[in-house]
Amino acid sequence: MSIQPVGQSFGRSVVGQKSVWIGTNWKMNKGPAEAVAAARALESFRPPPGVRSFVIPPFTSLRDVCSVLEDSALMVGAQNMHWKDSGAWTGEVSAPMIAECGASLVEIGHSERRQHFGETDWTVNLKVLAALRHGLRPLICIGDTLDEFEFGVSPETLARQTKIALNGVAQKDLGQVLIAYEPVWAIGSAGRPAEAAFVSEIHTRLRAVVREIAGESGVRIPLLYGGSVSQANIRDYVALPDVDGVFVGRAAWEPADFMKLVNSVSGLVSRKAAA
Ligand code: PEP
Protein backbone atom coordinates (compact mmCIF):
# COMPACT_ATOMS: atom_id res chain seq x y z
CA MET A 1 0.00 0.00 0.00
CA SER A 2 1.51 3.32 -0.95
CA ILE A 3 1.22 6.67 0.77
CA GLN A 4 -1.94 8.40 -0.34
CA PRO A 5 -1.46 11.80 -1.91
CA VAL A 6 -2.31 14.71 0.29
CA GLY A 7 -3.10 18.29 -0.47
CA GLN A 8 -0.81 21.19 0.26
CA SER A 9 -2.40 21.58 3.66
CA PHE A 10 -2.04 18.13 5.17
CA GLY A 11 -5.17 18.12 7.30
CA ARG A 12 -7.11 18.52 4.09
CA SER A 13 -7.45 15.87 1.44
CA VAL A 14 -6.66 16.47 -2.22
CA VAL A 15 -10.21 17.62 -2.81
CA GLY A 16 -9.63 20.38 -0.28
CA GLN A 17 -11.78 18.87 2.44
CA LYS A 18 -10.53 18.57 6.01
CA SER A 19 -9.80 14.98 7.01
CA VAL A 20 -10.56 13.28 10.29
CA TRP A 21 -8.14 10.51 11.22
CA ILE A 22 -9.23 7.46 13.21
CA GLY A 23 -6.87 4.61 13.87
CA THR A 24 -6.23 1.81 16.28
CA ASN A 25 -3.11 0.20 17.69
CA TRP A 26 -3.64 -3.48 18.39
CA LYS A 27 -0.57 -3.50 20.67
CA MET A 28 0.63 -7.05 21.59
CA ASN A 29 -2.67 -8.60 20.59
CA LYS A 30 -3.76 -10.64 17.58
CA GLY A 31 -1.30 -13.18 16.22
CA PRO A 32 -1.38 -13.85 12.47
CA ALA A 33 -4.59 -15.92 12.43
CA GLU A 34 -6.60 -13.52 14.56
CA ALA A 35 -5.15 -10.47 12.80
CA VAL A 36 -6.01 -11.81 9.35
CA ALA A 37 -9.54 -12.57 10.50
CA ALA A 38 -9.86 -8.99 11.81
CA ALA A 39 -8.41 -7.57 8.58
CA ARG A 40 -10.88 -9.61 6.52
CA ALA A 41 -13.70 -8.20 8.61
CA LEU A 42 -12.46 -4.69 7.77
CA GLU A 43 -11.53 -5.31 4.15
CA SER A 44 -14.67 -3.97 2.53
CA PHE A 45 -15.33 -1.25 5.08
CA ARG A 46 -15.61 2.24 3.63
CA PRO A 47 -15.20 5.05 6.18
CA PRO A 48 -17.50 8.05 5.72
CA PRO A 49 -16.20 10.72 3.31
CA GLY A 50 -13.39 12.74 4.83
CA VAL A 51 -12.42 10.08 7.37
CA ARG A 52 -9.04 8.40 6.97
CA SER A 53 -8.62 5.20 8.95
CA PHE A 54 -5.74 2.94 9.85
CA VAL A 55 -4.92 -0.17 11.87
CA ILE A 56 -1.61 -1.00 13.49
CA PRO A 57 -1.06 -4.72 14.01
CA PRO A 58 1.93 -6.33 15.74
CA PHE A 59 4.97 -7.14 13.58
CA THR A 60 4.23 -10.84 13.16
CA SER A 61 0.89 -9.95 11.56
CA LEU A 62 2.01 -6.91 9.59
CA ARG A 63 2.68 -8.45 6.19
CA ASP A 64 -0.49 -10.56 6.24
CA VAL A 65 -2.66 -7.64 7.31
CA CYS A 66 -1.10 -5.43 4.62
CA SER A 67 -1.91 -8.09 2.00
CA VAL A 68 -5.53 -8.41 3.08
CA LEU A 69 -6.03 -4.64 3.24
CA GLU A 70 -4.01 -3.78 0.14
CA ASP A 71 -7.01 -2.62 -1.91
CA SER A 72 -9.09 -1.48 1.02
CA ALA A 73 -9.77 2.03 2.29
CA LEU A 74 -7.63 1.44 5.38
CA MET A 75 -3.97 2.24 5.87
CA VAL A 76 -1.77 -0.15 7.80
CA GLY A 77 1.03 0.81 10.16
CA ALA A 78 3.75 -0.73 12.31
CA GLN A 79 4.04 -0.16 16.05
CA ASN A 80 7.72 0.76 16.20
CA MET A 81 10.93 0.74 14.15
CA HIS A 82 14.68 1.15 14.45
CA TRP A 83 16.36 4.22 12.99
CA LYS A 84 19.06 2.25 11.14
CA ASP A 85 18.23 0.52 7.85
CA SER A 86 20.00 -2.75 8.73
CA GLY A 87 22.82 -4.15 10.84
CA ALA A 88 23.64 -5.70 14.20
CA TRP A 89 20.48 -4.68 16.05
CA THR A 90 19.08 -7.99 17.27
CA GLY A 91 15.34 -8.03 17.69
CA GLU A 92 14.79 -4.78 15.84
CA VAL A 93 12.89 -4.00 12.63
CA SER A 94 13.82 -1.23 10.20
CA ALA A 95 11.83 1.23 8.11
CA PRO A 96 12.67 -0.49 4.78
CA MET A 97 11.49 -3.80 6.23
CA ILE A 98 8.21 -2.21 7.27
CA ALA A 99 7.79 -0.56 3.88
CA GLU A 100 8.50 -3.89 2.16
CA CYS A 101 5.65 -5.45 4.13
CA GLY A 102 3.36 -2.91 2.49
CA ALA A 103 2.74 -0.63 5.47
CA SER A 104 2.47 3.10 4.89
CA LEU A 105 2.61 4.36 8.45
CA VAL A 106 4.69 3.78 11.57
CA GLU A 107 3.89 4.62 15.17
CA ILE A 108 6.82 6.20 16.98
CA GLY A 109 7.29 7.00 20.65
CA HIS A 110 4.19 5.44 22.19
CA SER A 111 4.33 6.01 25.95
CA GLU A 112 4.67 2.26 26.54
CA ARG A 113 7.85 2.35 24.43
CA ARG A 114 9.09 5.42 26.31
CA GLN A 115 8.19 3.96 29.71
CA HIS A 116 9.29 0.32 29.35
CA PHE A 117 11.83 0.26 26.53
CA GLY A 118 13.94 3.36 27.03
CA GLU A 119 12.56 5.34 24.10
CA THR A 120 13.67 8.96 24.39
CA ASP A 121 12.92 12.19 22.57
CA TRP A 122 16.26 11.71 20.80
CA THR A 123 15.48 8.20 19.52
CA VAL A 124 12.01 9.34 18.51
CA ASN A 125 13.62 12.03 16.37
CA LEU A 126 16.05 9.56 14.76
CA LYS A 127 13.15 7.24 13.96
CA VAL A 128 10.99 10.04 12.52
CA LEU A 129 13.78 11.06 10.15
CA ALA A 130 14.40 7.44 9.12
CA ALA A 131 10.69 6.78 8.56
CA LEU A 132 10.43 9.79 6.28
CA ARG A 133 13.54 8.74 4.34
CA HIS A 134 11.71 5.51 3.51
CA GLY A 135 8.37 7.03 2.60
CA LEU A 136 6.57 6.04 5.80
CA ARG A 137 4.24 8.42 7.59
CA PRO A 138 5.45 8.78 11.18
CA LEU A 139 2.64 8.81 13.72
CA ILE A 140 4.46 10.50 16.58
CA CYS A 141 3.02 9.84 20.04
CA ILE A 142 3.57 12.45 22.71
CA GLY A 143 2.17 12.54 26.21
CA ASP A 144 2.44 13.98 29.69
CA THR A 145 2.77 11.80 32.80
CA LEU A 146 0.38 12.15 35.72
CA ASP A 147 3.07 14.04 37.69
CA GLU A 148 3.57 16.50 34.84
CA PHE A 149 -0.19 16.94 34.52
CA GLU A 150 -0.58 17.56 38.26
CA PHE A 151 2.33 20.02 38.36
CA GLY A 152 0.68 21.87 35.46
CA VAL A 153 3.62 21.47 33.10
CA SER A 154 1.90 19.37 30.40
CA PRO A 155 2.22 22.10 27.73
CA GLU A 156 5.97 22.40 28.32
CA THR A 157 6.48 18.63 28.11
CA LEU A 158 4.43 18.34 24.95
CA ALA A 159 6.15 21.28 23.28
CA ARG A 160 9.54 19.74 24.07
CA GLN A 161 8.57 16.31 22.78
CA THR A 162 7.11 17.81 19.60
CA LYS A 163 10.03 20.12 18.85
CA ILE A 164 12.61 17.37 19.34
CA ALA A 165 10.60 14.80 17.37
CA LEU A 166 10.39 17.18 14.41
CA ASN A 167 13.94 18.49 14.62
CA GLY A 168 15.56 18.40 11.17
CA VAL A 169 12.39 17.35 9.33
CA ALA A 170 12.40 19.05 5.93
CA GLN A 171 9.45 21.36 5.27
CA LYS A 172 8.56 19.22 2.25
CA ASP A 173 8.16 16.19 4.54
CA LEU A 174 6.00 17.83 7.22
CA GLY A 175 2.91 16.92 5.23
CA GLN A 176 3.56 13.25 5.95
CA VAL A 177 3.64 13.63 9.73
CA LEU A 178 0.85 12.82 12.19
CA ILE A 179 0.97 13.61 15.90
CA ALA A 180 -1.08 11.86 18.59
CA TYR A 181 -1.44 13.51 21.98
CA GLU A 182 -1.86 10.63 24.41
CA PRO A 183 -1.76 11.59 28.09
CA VAL A 184 -0.02 8.73 29.91
CA TRP A 185 -2.64 9.02 32.65
CA ALA A 186 -5.48 8.59 30.17
CA ILE A 187 -4.46 5.46 28.28
CA GLY A 188 -5.13 1.83 29.10
CA SER A 189 -7.50 0.17 31.52
CA ALA A 190 -6.11 2.17 34.47
CA GLY A 191 -6.50 5.44 32.59
CA ARG A 192 -9.26 8.00 32.72
CA PRO A 193 -10.29 9.91 29.60
CA ALA A 194 -9.05 13.49 29.51
CA GLU A 195 -11.69 16.20 29.80
CA ALA A 196 -12.60 17.53 26.36
CA ALA A 197 -11.93 21.10 27.55
CA PHE A 198 -8.40 20.11 28.60
CA VAL A 199 -7.76 18.36 25.28
CA SER A 200 -9.02 21.42 23.47
CA GLU A 201 -6.63 23.70 25.34
CA ILE A 202 -3.67 21.36 24.83
CA HIS A 203 -4.36 20.92 21.13
CA THR A 204 -4.69 24.64 20.59
CA ARG A 205 -1.28 25.11 22.20
CA LEU A 206 0.14 22.24 20.15
CA ARG A 207 -1.28 23.81 17.02
CA ALA A 208 0.75 26.91 17.78
CA VAL A 209 3.91 24.81 18.29
CA VAL A 210 3.54 22.92 15.02
CA ARG A 211 2.50 26.05 13.13
CA GLU A 212 5.74 27.67 14.20
CA ILE A 213 7.68 24.63 12.95
CA ALA A 214 5.72 24.42 9.69
CA GLY A 215 6.43 28.10 9.12
CA GLU A 216 5.55 29.40 5.72
CA SER A 217 4.84 25.94 4.30
CA GLY A 218 1.32 26.31 5.70
CA VAL A 219 1.14 22.55 6.33
CA ARG A 220 -1.49 21.61 8.89
CA ILE A 221 -0.09 18.61 10.76
CA PRO A 222 -3.01 16.44 11.94
CA LEU A 223 -3.23 16.36 15.74
CA LEU A 224 -5.00 13.27 17.08
CA TYR A 225 -6.13 12.64 20.63
CA GLY A 226 -5.71 9.21 22.25
CA GLY A 227 -6.53 7.88 25.70
CA SER A 228 -9.63 5.91 26.69
CA VAL A 229 -11.52 7.04 23.60
CA SER A 230 -14.82 5.18 23.43
CA GLN A 231 -18.16 5.22 21.73
CA ALA A 232 -19.37 7.46 24.56
CA ASN A 233 -16.82 10.24 24.08
CA ILE A 234 -15.41 10.06 20.52
CA ARG A 235 -17.66 12.81 19.19
CA ASP A 236 -16.75 15.16 22.05
CA TYR A 237 -13.10 14.96 21.01
CA VAL A 238 -13.54 14.97 17.24
CA ALA A 239 -15.81 18.02 17.45
CA LEU A 240 -12.97 20.12 18.92
CA PRO A 241 -11.52 22.57 16.38
CA ASP A 242 -7.88 21.59 16.86
CA VAL A 243 -8.50 17.85 17.08
CA ASP A 244 -8.07 16.18 13.69
CA GLY A 245 -8.95 12.68 14.81
CA VAL A 246 -8.46 10.05 17.46
CA PHE A 247 -6.07 7.20 18.13
CA VAL A 248 -7.89 4.39 19.89
CA GLY A 249 -6.82 1.29 21.79
CA ARG A 250 -9.15 -1.12 23.56
CA ALA A 251 -12.41 0.32 22.29
CA ALA A 252 -11.45 -0.35 18.66
CA TRP A 253 -9.76 -3.73 18.77
CA GLU A 254 -12.90 -5.58 17.67
CA PRO A 255 -13.52 -4.82 13.98
CA ALA A 256 -17.23 -4.21 14.57
CA ASP A 257 -16.41 -1.66 17.29
CA PHE A 258 -13.80 -0.01 15.08
CA MET A 259 -16.26 0.42 12.22
CA LYS A 260 -18.92 1.72 14.60
CA LEU A 261 -16.50 4.30 16.02
CA VAL A 262 -15.45 5.45 12.57
CA ASN A 263 -19.04 5.70 11.36
CA SER A 264 -20.07 7.60 14.45
CA VAL A 265 -18.17 10.75 13.40
CA SER A 266 -19.69 11.02 9.94
CA GLY A 267 -21.93 14.00 10.67
CA LEU A 268 -19.05 15.87 12.28
CA VAL A 269 -16.68 15.73 9.35
CA SER A 270 -18.62 18.05 7.10
CA ARG A 271 -19.22 20.43 9.99
CA LYS A 272 -15.50 20.56 10.69
CA ALA A 273 -14.73 21.00 7.00
CA ALA A 274 -17.05 23.97 6.85
CA ALA A 275 -15.53 25.58 9.96
C1 PEP B 1 -3.13 3.76 23.66
O2 PEP B 1 -2.59 2.98 24.43
O3 PEP B 1 -2.48 4.37 22.80
C4 PEP B 1 -4.56 3.99 23.78
C5 PEP B 1 -5.09 5.01 23.19
O6 PEP B 1 -5.23 3.06 24.52
P7 PEP B 1 -6.74 3.13 25.05
O8 PEP B 1 -7.60 3.72 24.00
O9 PEP B 1 -7.07 1.70 25.34
O10 PEP B 1 -6.71 3.96 26.29
Q: What is the 3-state secondary structure (H, E, C) of the chain?
A: CCCCCCCCCCCECCCCCECEEEEEECCCCCCHHHHHHHHHHHCCCCCCCCEEEEEECCHHHHHHHHHHCCCCCEEEEECCCECCCCCCCCCCCEHHHHHHHCCCEEEECCHHHHHHCCCCHHHHHHHHHHHHHCCCEEEEEECCCHHHHHHCCHHHHHHHHHHHHCCCCCHHHHHHCEEEECCCCCCCCCCCCCCHHHHHHHHHHHHHHHHHHHHHHCCCCCEEEECCCCCCCHHHHHCCCCCCEEEECHHHCCHHHHHHHHHCCHHHHHHHHHC
pLDDT bracket for residue 272 (50, 70, 90): confident
Residue of the nearest CA to atom 3 in ligand 1? 249
Name the pLDDT band for 12 (thresholds 50, 70, 90): very low
Total-model pTM: 0.93
pLDDT at res. 60: 98
Confidence at residue 274, expressed as pLDDT on a 0 to 100 scale: 75
pLDDT > 90: percent of the chain: 88
Backbone angles phi, psi at 193, to 5 degrees: -60, 140
Rounded average pLDDT over 30-46: 98
- What pLDDT is stored for residue 10 in this prediction? 34
Burial of 105 (0-12, 13-18, 19+ CB in 10 A): buried
pLDDT confidence band for 42 (50 / 70 / 90):
very high
The answer on pLDDT for 171 being more than 70 is yes
- Residues annotated as catalytic are 110, 182
The pLDDT score that the predictor gives to residue 4 is 40
User: How many angstroms does the Cα of residue 227 sit away from the middle of ligand 1?
Assistant: 5
Average pLDDT over residues 197-216: 95
Using the mean position of ligand 1's atoms as its centre, give its distance from the Cα of residue 252 in Å: 9
Over residues 212-225, mean pLDDT: 91
- CB count within 10 Å of CB 98 equals 27
pLDDT tens digits, residue range 83-105?
999 999 999 999 999 999 999 99
Amino acid identity of residue 116, one-letter, is H
Residue whose CA lies nearest to ligand 1 atom number 8: 249
**pLDDT interval class at 7 (50, 70, 90):** very low
pLDDT, mean of residues 35-48: 98
Nearest atom in ligand 1 to 191's CA: 10
The whole-number pLDDT of residue 271 equals 81
Cα(24) to ligand 1 centroid in Å equals 8
pLDDT range class, residue 269, cuts 50, 70, 90: confident
Query: For 228-268, how does the pLDDT look when each residue is reduced to its tens digit (9 = 90+)?
Result: 999 999 999 999 999 999 999 999 999 999 999 999 999 88
Q: Are residues 204 and 242 in contact, defined by beta-carbon separation less than 8 angstroms? A: yes
Instruction: Over range 162-176, report the average pLDDT.
Output: 96
* Nearest atom in ligand 1 to 180's CA: 3
| Dihedral class, residue 225 (left if φ above 0, else alpha if ψ from -120 to 50, else beta) | beta
pLDDT attached to residue 8:
30
pLDDT band at 131 (very low <50, low <70, confident <90, very high): very high
Ligand 1 atom with the smallest distance to the CA of 188 is 10
What pLDDT is attached to residue 161?
98
Higher pLDDT, 2 or 204: 204
**Cα–Cα distance list, 181 to 94, 111, 134, 189 (Å):** 24, 10, 24, 17
pLDDT, position 14? 35
**pLDDT attached to residue 17:** 45
Ligand 1 pocket: which residues have CB below 6 Å? 25, 182, 187-188, 191, 226-229, 247-251
**Choice from 56, 115, 182 to test ligand 1 binding pocket (greatest atom count within 8 A of CB):** 182
- Alpha carbon of 172 to ligand 1 centroid (Å): 30
The predicted structure's pLDDT at residue 3: 40
